[in-house]
Every structure is written in C-alpha cells, then in structure tokens.
Amino acid sequence: MKQLERSALGAAVVLSVVSIGDAVLRATTDVVPPWDDESTTTWALVTTNLLMMVTFGLLAAVLVRNARLIDAGSGVVRWIRRVFAADLAVLATGYLLVSVAGSEAFGAVAGIAFLVMFVLGAVLGGALLRRPDVRVPAALMVAPVPIIGLTFALEALAPGWGHPGYAETALYLGIALLGLTTAAAPTHTPARSVAAR
C-alpha cells in the first residue's frame, strides 16, 4: 500500500466514525454535538471542518493519482472520475474556506458539492461494478443509493435514527478502497525483446 492511499483510508475511517457517532448521539440524546453549526464550540467546528477538508482532499488525490488504473482505458470512466475528483477538491476547498473565513457563501457551495458527491460516487461506482478487480469498492460507492432509501425507512420506524452518516461512510470507504485496490495492483511492464544471438 502506498502512503497516500493509506492516509486516505485513515481519514475516511476517522470521518466515518464522526458521522456514525453524530447519528448515534442525535438519536439517543438531546445534546447538540460540539461539531454542529448550532454549537458555540469553535474548536470542535474548526477541527471537524479541517477533518472534512483533509479527507476530501486525500480522496480527490487518490482519484487523480490512480487515474490510469481506475479508468482502464474507458473514456466514460475517465470523465466521471475527473468530475468526481474536481467535486471532492471543491469540497475540500470549501471546508477550508469555511474554517478560515466562516463565510456562508462558501458553506452553500460546499453543501451543493456535498450532495453532488453522492450522485457522482454512485455513477462512478456503477460504471466500475463489472470489473472484478474493483467490484468491492465500486459496490460501496453505489451503496449510498439503497442506504439513503433505507435511512428514510429507518427514520419512519425509529424517529431520530435517520442520518446521512450511514451513506457517507459507505461512500468514503468505497473511494479510499478504490485507491488502495488500484495502487496495490501489479504493474505490467512490457516484455523486453530478446536480442538475436
């Protein structure tokens, strides 16, 4: 495994723990989490925004660095991956600017990019599902589609338990594992021609 891909997976796991923790905390208590926008805990808000910035930046870098192996010669996958990497880069920049400047305009842009992330992740995952070498990460990237539906059902059955963190977790881990899977793939070098003796 390469350092970038390991870092992306680590950041994805940490952000996923925060997302699931947020879901459980909101469902089981009336406490406003310190990382919530309504909270006045500045250090927690800044720390969470920086975690999101780092995670999205690393995931975008993974998609760029492993482009050749992810694309595998497919023009469709190449363009989806490029747009997805750009969206993640916008998210990373948006959360950085929100942390530094605290502008609502940056927050709105990041919010739109956040929603687009789910669509692009599902589309890229769907385009990769037929490839056995990346099927698991691709399935995780598509998983938010049914998970979002199940989340609405869960909210109807158990009010307070519906949360986007479940879908986020599947997507973050899917992108990170896509990077790990492609980075770990053996690189094929063309056979050298044997000189005539």
User: Residue 55 in contact with residue 15, Cβ under 8 Å?
Assistant: yes
Structural domain boundaries of the chain? 3-183
Residue 129's pLDDT is 95
pLDDT in tens, the chain (197 residues): 589 999 999 999 999 999 999 899 888 888 777 777 776 677 787 788 889 999 999 999 999 999 999 999 899 999 999 999 999 999 998 877 766 666 667 767 778 999 999 999 999 999 999 999 999 999 999 999 999 999 999 999 999 899 999 999 999 999 999 999 988 776 543 333 333 33
Residue 100's pLDDT is 67
Residue length, the chain? 197
Give the whole-angstrom CA distance, residue 103 versus residue 127: 36
Q: State the DSSP string of 65-117.
A: HTHHHHHTT-HHHHHHHHHHHHHHHHHHHHHHHHHHH--HHHHHHHHHHHHHH
Query: What pTM does this model have?
Result: 0.86
What dihedral angle (degrees, nearest 10) is formed by the CA atoms of 126, 148, 16, 59?
A: 30
Residue 172's pLDDT is 96
